Amino acid sequence: MTGLNRQAFNELLSQLIVAWVAQEGSQRQLAERFKVSLSFVKNLVRRYRETGQVEPKQCGGYEKPIIAGQYLNMIKSWLDEKNDLLLSELCDRLRETTGTSVSITTMHRALEKLGLRHKKKSKCQ
């Protein structure tokens, strides 16, 4: 199957499904006939049964950040009022105020977006 362009690959998928629907052999026989793995045929048949489509699912994509816009402004104002809040305290305050729960890692990333470092100053003597 290596070296197939998109059009040839789509044609292969279509031929395989047509052969499966016409019951021209078992999934194992179809895999041998089209020189693909058995798991490929099984996954293709499952996708066809569930969706009626043979095209692969979309891979990847953009996921909107949980903390953006007004939430960032809110967090910035909290830190302007009291700059020694812990990340966990910021997470708790966001949950109480907006109902949005986030992890400490997500909160840390939000502070990075704001250009803020969240490191307490060490006490030097």
Taking only the tens place, the pLDDT of each residue in 10-51 is: 777 888 888 888 888 888 988 888 888 899 888 888 888 888
Structural domain includes residue 100: yes
Structural domain includes residue 78: yes
Closest to 9 (Cα-Cα) out of 36, 29, 46: 36
Range of the domain at 84: 70-113
45-99 pLDDT, tens digit each? 888 888 888 777 777 777 788 888 899 999 999 999 998 889 999 999 999 999 9
The pair of three-digit structure tokens given for residue 77, joined into one six-digit string: 């104002």
Structural domain includes residue 65: no
> Are 47 and 74 contained in the same domain?
no
The pair of three-digit structure tokens given for residue 33, joined into one six-digit string: 């006939």
Q: Which residues contact 85 (CB under 8 A, 6 or more apart)?
A: 78, 79, 93
Structural domain includes residue 106: yes
Structural domain includes residue 63: no
- b/e per residue 69-102 (b: at least 16 CB within 10 A): eebeebbeebbeeeeebebeebbeebeeeeeeeb
Rounded Cα distance between 75 and 107, Å, is 9
Structural domain includes residue 56: no
Count of other CB atoms within 10 angstroms of residue 106: 16
Structural domain includes residue 108: yes
